[in-house]
Structure formats: structure tokens, C-alpha cells
Structure 1
Amino acid sequence: MRGFLASSIGVTCAAALALPLTLPSSGARAATPAPQSPAGPLAVSVPGSTQSLPLTPLGSDRSPGGEAAEQGLLQREVRPFSLVGVIWDDPDDELNGSVQVRTRASGTSNWSGWQPVETHNHEHAADPDDPERATGRVRGSTAPLWVGDSDGVEIRVRGEAAQARGEHRGATESPVERALPEGLRLELVDPGAEPPPQGSAPEGPRSPALTAEAAASSAVNADLAPLGASVIPALSKEETESDLVEARGGPEDAGKVKPHIGPRPRIITRKGWGADEKIREKNFGYTKTVKAAFVHHSASGNNYRCSQAPSLLRSIYRFHVKSSGWRDIGYNFAVDKCGNIYEGRAGGVAKPVLGAHTLGFNSNTTGVAVLGSFGSTNPPSAAVSAIARLTAWKLGLHGANPSGKTYLRSGGGNKYKKGSNVRLNVISGHRDGFATECPGLRLYKKLGKARSDSARHQGR
């Protein structure tokens, strides 16, 4: 949509091409009120639901502190669901152990084999000092696992063996089970109904499916697509550069400095994947700029079709908000195995939205999650290509070189102390900022190609 960007900022000199395309009106890390919806009839948002089941002790084994060393649930029939995860009371506690689930396909007697659920303690979360972390609603959580349409479940959670020293010198060390976190619960998420077929705009000037919250979420992308659009359309490189120059300096400056920016990719909006805007926090949070992109995998497994990606996203979104207690989905963007790009956390795809994706490095960064698990599975080339195209555009809006390095100040984590000034790749993997397996070794090895392709898209 050409011409939409021109009203974003009123910068008048060509030197401003190094500045972000859009800035929050109230400064860094501010939460700005969401725009209000125009008057008109509103409809109910896309439904979804979560079943939260407390885990109980399995067997008679106990840890030294008296807690059950293994908890879970035996086979049981439940209401339909498609995604599972485990939560616990204190987000600062760690689940040191293993989580395994098996599920029954809806309407059948077919049970899956045992599947592991990634524990990923703390690594995907708001920074320690961020207000999102201090709401009292945040809980510890595993990664979510996509299991498809199911109506039966069984789960077991077991603390890992730790070495306990004998009381007397020279005593042999013996393995004991570590206590599990308090308040373990199994979360079963139903993503709800599919949204209407995707299109670039609603059927009329006021779509009946556009709630006040959905209108607010869409309005922050109004420079890029019409209100209520399900898709932000792609632009050519020439169109993207022209709009960027016009927004920042006007046509008279177009020949002075050529911006390094990739063509804007097609992006499916939150409305396009059916986000229930009523469950997120109303306001939008922003940081100052975007200096780097962190690449993640969702660790939700690879057993989904691309047509199911919207359902998977709605499930992760609901798990992040309703189960984990976050203000919104943690990632700024998501990419599916077919290379489709999705808007993540609300606030505007061109804006420096503050995410909750890399503990300690959420400020001045953006988080891109590839839907799937890539520890032992190669990521599809379409997904790696999408990372390159998305970052070429997003980083280009903020003057960042995808093949370069930048300095980021740590907000605190398990790899860098709070306040550390850390030199990182502009396109980094999650493990570069936090000691974690994410984004999976196979995807991590593809980041070199993503960097070079992204820079090439920018014309570097």
C-alpha cells in the first residue's frame, strides 16, 4: 500500500534515514493506549478455551524434602484440545526434569507414543525489571507442544537425578530426585474456530467481525494496510525505498541518500490468524529502536500443516497469555514451515514493539519465531528465506545491517550479567543471548545464510 507510510513521521532531512521509521509517542519502554475503534456494531471475537488440570503424585517415590519425585495424570478423557503445556506457581523456579505426554486423537481410540515437552526454564520471558514481569500473574512454564485435535491425555513429570553428598568424608555420592516446582498444572488449549478466509482488506468499510480491541490492534498498522486487513501486502524494493524516503525526508531528498532496506514482505496480521484481542493487555509497549533480531523456534513440534499454522499461533498466544500470564504473545513475528510471515505481539509491525522473547535482551530488539522444533530436524528453506526477507525489511526500517554486529545492554539473564554491554550479531540466535538450546542447532546453523541473504535484500 504505497503512500500510507508518508504520514508516519515528519522528519525533514536526509540524515534522518538512519532513524527508525516509527517511534512510540511516549519514549522507550512506554505502554501507549491502544487507539479506539470507530463507532459501529461489534461482534464476538474468535473463541478458544483452556483446561487447567492440577498434577498429582505418581507412585510412592519422594524427594528428600517430602515432595513427590514424579507427578502427572493417568489416561483420561477431556474436552477437545490441540496444544499442551505445563505451568507452575513461581516463574523463578526451575523445572529440572523431564515432561512427557501422550494424547488420543479425537473420536478415536488411537493413542500417540510418549512425546517430550521442552522445559525451557525462564528463557522466553519479559526482562526481570520489566513491568510485565511484576504483574503477579506470571507463572513458570514449559514450551507448548502442538498435538493436533485430541480428546484424551496422559502426562508424567519427573525430577532429574542430582548427586547428594554423604554426611561423612569419603562417603559415596548417591543420586536423588530434585523436588519439582509447586503448583504444577497441565494446560490443554483449544485454539477455537478458524478466522474467515484471508484477504487484504475487510469486505466493507466496517467489518462486522472487527471488535473494538481488534480495531485498535489493526489501527497501529494503518500506514501499511486498511483498517481490518487480514494481510499487509508485499511491496517491491523500489516501492519500499520510495515510501521510506517520502516518510522521512520528502521526495526532494530521494537522491541524496539511498536507504538500505529490503522489500516489504507479505505479512499475515493478527486478524488474519484470528487472534482474540480481548485476552491481551489493552495497551501496547514499545522500546526505543530495533538494533537486532533474535531468531527462535517455538519448540512446539513439527507435526502441523501450514494450513494449521493460524490455529497453532492462536494456541501459543493463549498459552502465553492465559497460562503463562504474559501481556500478549511473546514473539514479535512468527514464520511457518511454508515461509508465511505472521504478525506477533500487537503494536504495529513497523514499530519497535517490546516483546518477551529473549530474557535480558528484549529492549531494542525484535523476536522472530519459526514454528517448529529444529534441534535434530533441518528447518525448511522457505522458513530460512522468510527470516531473511523479514529481517531485511524490519532491520532496514531502523538502519541496521543484517550482516553486522551491534552492542546490546543485558537486562539480566543466565549468560550475561545485568548491565553488561554485549557485542552480538545483528541477526542472532536465542542462544547467543541466553544459555539455551533455542533456536535448535539445525536452525542456528542456517543463520549465516539468513544474514547474507538479508543483507543482499537490503542492497548491501
Structure 2
Amino acid sequence: MWSPRLVLGTVLLPLAALVAGDGPAHSPVRRPDPPPVAVPVNGGPRPTVVSRSAWGADEDMVRERPAYTGPAVAVFVHHTGHPNDYHCDEVPALLRALEADHVHGQGWDDIGYNFVVDRCGTIYEGRAGGAARPVHGAHTQGFNRDSVGVAALGTFDAGTPVPEAVVEAIASVTAWKLRPGADPHGRVRLTSTNGNSRYPKGETAVFDVVSGHRDSHQTDCPGQALYDRLPAIRDRAARLRDP
């Protein structure tokens, strides 16, 4: 979760107010080239996704080639910490600033989230590697393997209204990206890959298939208001996956 005031047309302010352990770490390991063909691992209907090229991602800024993981068995929901009063036509510029902060400010490889959704319900491709492919994200330390990170652009602390378009967009990504047969209302066992989460490396934890970032980390992300909407996200995702 981030707490910036990113102002268009001004110098990017560093997103320094991070919750401890609340982000991906840069890895010096050089990742292999991606496989040439996408593996069909998605379960539900594909929503419209704004590509990185469409929002103007700087691919020369990305430090490592994409890495891939298995089909998604879990979705972790986040918020970005941005102010909520942005105009939706400003979002591409906000994403470019977010990319710059994650790479240059935080020292990460790329944007950590697989997808970002805005207050108008538009879904944006986040981390590079192909929206339809099982890209290994950097959104939930310890539990990035076989999971998808979806972030709502904004801050959704207790009492903050969560637009229905945000709920619908997150549900659409969830329904699409979860592997065939996964139940949005179900639970899943995941093994921590490092000690920067609530669980030591190697420990297995049980999560809701659709969880909030706080379920794996000592953080308020995705904010109480958005966390309280997770049941609605699960319901809508399940309906979208119902044949």
C-alpha cells in the first residue's frame, strides 16, 4: 500500500510511507526469456484490459524479464494509497508515475501488481509479461507464486465509499484469472516463500481464494472499506464463472 499525493505535471513525490514489508523486493537474479506461447490457464470470460502500451508504460525502465508461475489459485486485493479525487482520464499518467516510483524510487523490477483498476471500472495491465499469461507478480511477499495481485487505484480506509465499478472490475479480473475449477468462495493452502509476510518461509497458511493483502501481511491494505467488499467480489466473480 502506498500513501502518495501524485500530482500530474509536477515532480513525482517519493512514495515513502510504506507499511513495513508491504512490497516486492528487487531480485538480482536474471530471469529467463518468457516462453513463446501463452498457456491457456484462465477460468472465466476475459474482460477488457488496457494494455501497457496503451497507458504508456516505459518498457526500457523494467529491470528484469517477466517470470511466470502456475495457474492462479488465489487473488490478493490491494489499494494503491492514491487520493480518490482523480479524474479517470488521468489514470495513464498516474500509472506511469507509479511505474517510475516502483522502479526508481523503491528499486523494484517493475510495477508489483498484475492489474490495477480505477474508480470508473477500467482494468489496466500492471506488471509486464502478458495479461493473459500467469505472470509472477510482486504484490504479496511470500505468496506471489500461483496468485494474482489486483490493486484499486485510491485509498479505501473505513468509511470511504467503494464505487461499484471498482467491485465489478476486481470481480471480473478474479473470475478470469483464477484457474479453471477454482471457487471464488473457497479456501486455498499456500506456502510462504520468504519471511517478510505474516508467515515464516516454508510455513503453509490457509487463505480465502479471494483475500485482502492484510491477510498475508502486517498492513491495513486494501483498507477496511474495500476489505469489507470482498464478499461481494467473491459473489460476483462466482456468478461470472457460472456456466
Aligned residue for 1:388, secondary structure, equals helix
Is the Cα contact below 8 Å between 1:403 and 1:452 reproduced in 2? yes
1:157-185: CA deviation from partner (whole Å, max 9, x where unpaired):
xxxxxxxxxxxxxxxxxxxxxxxxxxxxx
Distance in 1 of aligned mates of 2:217 and 2:63: 26
1:81 paired with 2:81, answer: no
Show the counterpart of 2:101.
319
Show the counterpart of 2:178.
395
Distance in 2 of aligned mates of 1:309 and 1:448: 27
Q: CA deviation at 1:320?
A: 0.3
1:56-104: CA deviation from partner (whole Å, max 9, x where unpaired):
xxxxxxxxxxxxxxxxxxxxxxxx52642255xxxxxxxxxxxxxxxxx
Show the counterpart of 1:437.
220
Greater strand share, 1 or 2?
1
1:360 paired with 2:169, answer: no
Distance in 2 of aligned mates of 1:291 and 1:319: 29
Distance in 2 of aligned mates of 1:281 and 1:288: 22
Q: How has the CA–CA distance of structure 1 residues 86 and 426 changed in structure 2, closer, same or farther, with 3 Å as cutoff?
A: closer
What amino acid is the match of 1:359? Answer: Q
Is the Cα contact below 8 Å between 1:284 and 1:346 reproduced in 2? yes
Distance in 1 of aligned mates of 2:18 and 2:184: 31
1:123 paired with 2:52, answer: no
Is the Cα contact below 8 Å between 2:20 and 2:218 reproduced in 1? no
Please list, as runs of the form range in 1=range in 2, the aligned pairs for 1:97-246 lying within 5 A after superposition: 118-126=17-25, 132-134=26-28
Is the Cα contact below 8 Å between 2:150 and 2:170 reproduced in 1? yes
Please list, as runs of the form range in 1=range in 2, the aligned pairs for 1:231-380 lying within 5 A after superposition: 261-376=43-158, 377-380=160-163
Distance in 2 of aligned mates of 1:414 and 1:344: 22
Show the counterpart of 1:165.
none
Q: CA deviation at 1:400?
A: 2.0
What amino acid is the match of 1:120? Answer: V
Structure 1 stretch displaced more, 349-358 or 330-339? 349-358
Show the counterpart of 2:4.
none
Q: RMSD of aligned C-alpha atoms?
A: 2.5
Is the Cα contact below 8 Å between 1:261 and 1:459 reproduced in 2? no
Q: How has the CA–CA distance of structure 1 residues 379 and 362 changed in structure 2, closer, same or farther, with 3 Å as cutoff?
A: same
Q: How has the CA–CA distance of structure 1 residues 122 and 277 changed in structure 2, closer, same or farther, with 3 Å as cutoff?
A: same
Distance in 1 of aligned mates of 2:239 and 2:47: 15
1:384 paired with 2:167, answer: yes
Distance in 2 of aligned mates of 1:414 and 1:391: 22
Distance in 1 of aligned mates of 2:141 and 2:126: 17
1:349-381: CA deviation from partner (whole Å, max 9, x where unpaired):
121111111111111111000000001312211
Is the Cα contact below 8 Å between 1:334 and 1:343 reproduced in 2? yes
Distance in 2 of aligned mates of 1:86 and 1:372: 14
Show the counterpart of 2:6.
none
What amino acid is the match of 1:81? Answer: T
Q: How has the CA–CA distance of structure 1 residues 326 and 292 changed in structure 2, closer, same or farther, with 3 Å as cutoff?
A: same
Aligned residue for 1:85, secondary structure, equals coil
What amino acid is the match of 1:356? Answer: A
1:199-240: CA deviation from partner (whole Å, max 9, x where unpaired):
xxxxxxxxxxxxxxxxx99x97x87xxxxxxxxxxxxxxxxx
TM-score (norm 1): 0.47
Aligned length: 230
Q: Which runs of 5+ in 2 are unaligned?
A: 1-8
Distance in 2 of aligned mates of 1:373 and 1:319: 17
1:5-47: CA deviation from partner (whole Å, max 9, x where unpaired):
xxxxxxxxxxxxxxxxxxxxxxxxxxxxxxxxxxxxxxxxxxx
Is the Cα contact below 8 Å between 1:360 and 1:413 reproduced in 2? yes
Is the Cα contact below 8 Å between 2:189 and 2:207 reproduced in 1? yes
1:455 paired with 2:243, answer: no
Aligned residue for 2:61, secondary structure, equals coil
Q: CA deviation at 1:415?
A: 1.4
TM-score (norm 2): 0.87
